[in-house]
Structure 1
């Protein structure tokens, strides 16, 4: 999970405050919001679910009086450093829970339906890994929309050897032609 967390944070590297916050989908998906959301996810599932203490308020976790999606974006007052720092602190607590508790440990997820709110650390771990990877995929697309950067980390775009800029332009044009032909058929 550490490599996915680090890959997500890499998506912020070298970008302006505007670019890490700007909404690039109709639903407002943005890079810093994804980090803030995942800090809340890990805090909720590994800290709150198992009744483990956390030494500070968790500002990214939705609360009853917060506006909808408050955990999916950063206000102008919330700094990149604060959100990234919170994420790193929460994941340290999550890692401690994962290391200290047996996988069969029962926790209670208060926001899940009552019939399945009691669950194991194993189930939570699988759930959070899936959630983290899902949002890291969102971050891949958002970062590519900003400046074309793609891949797991700097220097590893997972696309090495496929082609230069001209090759990618032709590739994309070929896909566009295929889509139009299929639509006309």
Structure 2
């Protein structure tokens, strides 16, 4: 029975890890074909931007699969959750290649941690309140997957607002039919107006 439990753990770990790999690529794909300005410019009232999302997710992953398991990143990490949100935007002297390269190197280190540790391997998150700070690889894998997926969703919406490009991965992208989009949007707008006026 113990062997069966290990097989279930490995299957669960592999499934979560594969989803994390997929979502990482989806997030990076949202930068493809964008100018430097469009990759960096604030696209919401709070300043959310595409390259900043990549920088932020890379930093999150580096901390959670690094510091939490006493495997700190060999690279300096941007400050996070501070007054200037420096991990959420990209300074003019930081290149896109630097940010993407940092994210990809983080993947390699995170993947090594995930591959080498069991799902119940203990970890400690010093920035989490007690008693939740003591955790394990399973909880961290789920947490980082959730963070990556959440920000990849943000990137979906931001990219759609920049140039209308949608899709989770390159193979899902379809040719944009502007007329069909306009008709579809108008239908939704009309339904919203009818509901608001009580004339549904």
Task: Tell me the distance in 2 between the aligned counterparts of 1:115 and 1:167.
Answer: 52
Which ranges of structure 2 fall in alignment gaps of 5 or more residues?
A: 1-19
CA distance in structure 2 between the partners assigned to 1:45 and 1:105 by the alignment: 13
Residue 165 of structure 1: CA displacement? Answer: 1.9
Counterpart Cα distance in 2 of 1:155 and 1:16: 22
String of CA shifts for 1:91-139, please: whole Å, max 9, x gaps.
Answer: 1111100000111011111111021100010000001111100100000
Q: Which has the larger radius of gyration?
A: 2
2:126 counterpart SS class: coil
- What stretches of structure 1 move > 4 A for 4+ residues in a row? none
User: Which secondary structure state, in structure 2, belongs to the residue aligned with residue 151 of structure 1?
Assistant: coil
Provide TM-score, normalisation by structure 1: 0.91
For the pair 1:179 / 2:192, whether they are aligned, the reply is yes
Tell me if 1:27 matches 2:51: no
How many residues are matched? Answer: 179
Indicate the residue corresponding to 1:70 in structure 2. 86
Residue in structure 1 matched with residue 155 of structure 2 by the alignment: 139
Matched, 1:11 2:30: yes
Q: Give structure 1 stretches of 5+ with no counterpart.
A: none
Look up the match of 2:55. Answer: 36
2:135 is paired with a residue whose SS is strand
